[in-house]
Structure 1
């Protein structure tokens, strides 16, 4: 088998960040499997350039947590916000040569209290539900912390104060 056949395609520098939360604004954080105390919301890149943002968000939530965004009581909302940030140098090899910036679209996913979480063990090793302010403090990424802090603005009138 040639090295071309086994080479992984470059990652697309367009990703989603999905703040999974309950109506009471308890936020789901997941801890990365690649070491450290890196707690975060669901994140992930598009599989194809033409993949819709919503499709990427739904796929990543399913892959990382086992939550179906179309399940009863779940509401996926595009916040129509994007972050543009430098790709960390240790991860740039995953992208085409010269790619140094990623565009990240932010979503919220409201789920019923008690929604089961099934982690993908190759990506994440633990999860926890935290009040939105505590979740923001726990996130290792500044853009993820900011998204948690925006939750009251985007979570709707039905959410608890």
Structure 2
């Protein structure tokens, strides 16, 4: 079975609904993280990590919108709104790193008006370690560096959005 990441709210390569768009920066959305589910994790998976990244952001380095790590291996979904500040809706033990918005919570799509369509790539990583050894206030890039060395598989889901 293939390792697959899905959302009940949008299809792969489909339009990101307004619910999952940021409410700040003039984007006008609800800034709620989407529901996600997965199956087919590789044998040996001890935990998961999730990132949401916009490679099309006009920054020279893209934009990190969400990072969750230390998701237990027996978890196969995240509910809508799991990315709220404080992480109360995350599975026990899971943590969020700081995004490019500067906080440890989900930050929805907010591309500049007229910049064209942006890709919001959600990547779920299967990891060979039960936990990532990262500081509590770490950035998405720091988590990503550690994911790189613990990764045994990944599944992607991409949403599109433009203003």
Taking structure 2 as the reference length, the TM-score comes to 0.25
Higher relative contact order by CA 8 Å / sep ≥ 6: 1 or 2?
Answer: 1
Bigger-Rg structure (1/2): 1
| Higher share of residues assigned helix | 1
**TM-score by structure 1 length?**
0.25
